[in-house]
């Protein structure tokens, strides 16, 4: 059975990356949480997906250009403000759930974000529940320099040629591809090289069933209870 990661918390039913979406996962029989970290103007790690805030907070600004106080003054549709990484850790520090932290360094580099994330988990004795991923694979190499024991997942939005060779070359233990790029032969080649595959974002039963059939290691989904919406046919 594939391990379930709640994508931005229970985002299929609650506002993504909110305290509410995370707390709804605490009592679920799942493996982990997938979430996103950026830095504010004053260097505070915060949990939020979009670099530009129009969609989430109706604000025409980038996360990097607002201080924490300015970001906290904004509200999601559910009335909450974005939370810090420390506030996220407070929710899960007594939980066994693994945190798959995506470093959002694909658009802006956020100098020092790797060390700040590492230090936050180390301070709370949660390194055994940390998995770091990013579309910026240089960020993963920086994390590897900080501590080579931290599991790393290479995110991709398209198909890599021979991903098992690429990931093995850089010592990445996990491959996090978009599900449409995954096939059984790819999984077999990766598994032969002891690389696990967690695919995103699996939000329909038909796709989930296929992921189980081909042997996917982990499912990143907005519906961690597997209460998927109907495809309509």
User: What does the block give as tokens for 132?
Assistant: 């770091």
Cβ(16)–Cβ(24) under 8 Å?
no
Q: In terms of DSSP H, where are the helices of the chain?
A: 19-23, 54-57, 68-72, 85-92, 113-123, 137-146, 163-170, 184-192, 205-214
Q: Which residue in the block uniquely carries the two structure tokens 């109706």?
A: 58
Cβ(195)–Cβ(173) under 8 Å?
yes
Written in H, E and C, the secondary structure of 52-84 is ECHHHHCCCCEHHHCCHHHHHCCCCCCCCCCEE
Catalogue the active-site residues. Answer: 7, 49
User: What does the block give as tokens for 114?
Assistant: 């790797």
Sign of CA dihedral 74, 79, 82, 83: positive
CA-wise closest residue to 214 among 228, 201, 229, 199: 199
């Amino acid at each position: 059975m594939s391990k379930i990661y709640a994508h931005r918390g229970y985002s299929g039913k609650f506002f993504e990356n909110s305290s509410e979406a995370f707390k709804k996962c605490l009592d679920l029989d799942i493996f982990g949480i997938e979430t996103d970290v950026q830095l504010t103007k004053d260097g505070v790690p915060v949990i939020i997906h979009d670099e530009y805030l129009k969609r989430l907070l109706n604000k025409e600004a980038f996360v990097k250009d607002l201080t924490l106080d300015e970001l906290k003054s904004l509200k999601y549709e559910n009335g909450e403000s974005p939370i810090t990484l420390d506030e996220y850790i407070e929710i899960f520090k007594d939980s066994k759930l693994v945190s798959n932290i995506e470093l959002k360094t694909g658009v802006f580099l956020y100098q020092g974000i790797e060390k700040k994330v590492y230090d936050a988990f180390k301070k709370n004795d949660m390194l055994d529940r940390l998995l770091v991923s990013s579309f910026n694979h240089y960020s993963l190499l920086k994390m590897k320099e900080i501590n080579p024991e931290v599991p790393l997942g290479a995110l991709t939005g398209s198909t890599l040629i021979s991903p098992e060779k690429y990931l093995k070359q850089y010592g990445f233990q996990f491959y996090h591809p978009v599900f449409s790029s995954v096939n059984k032969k790819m999984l077999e080649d990766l598994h032969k090289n002891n690389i696990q595959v967690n695919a995103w974002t699996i939000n329909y039963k038909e796709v989930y069933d296929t992921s189980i059939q081909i042997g996917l290691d982990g499912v990143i989904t907005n519906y961690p209870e597997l209460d998927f919406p109907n495809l309509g046919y």
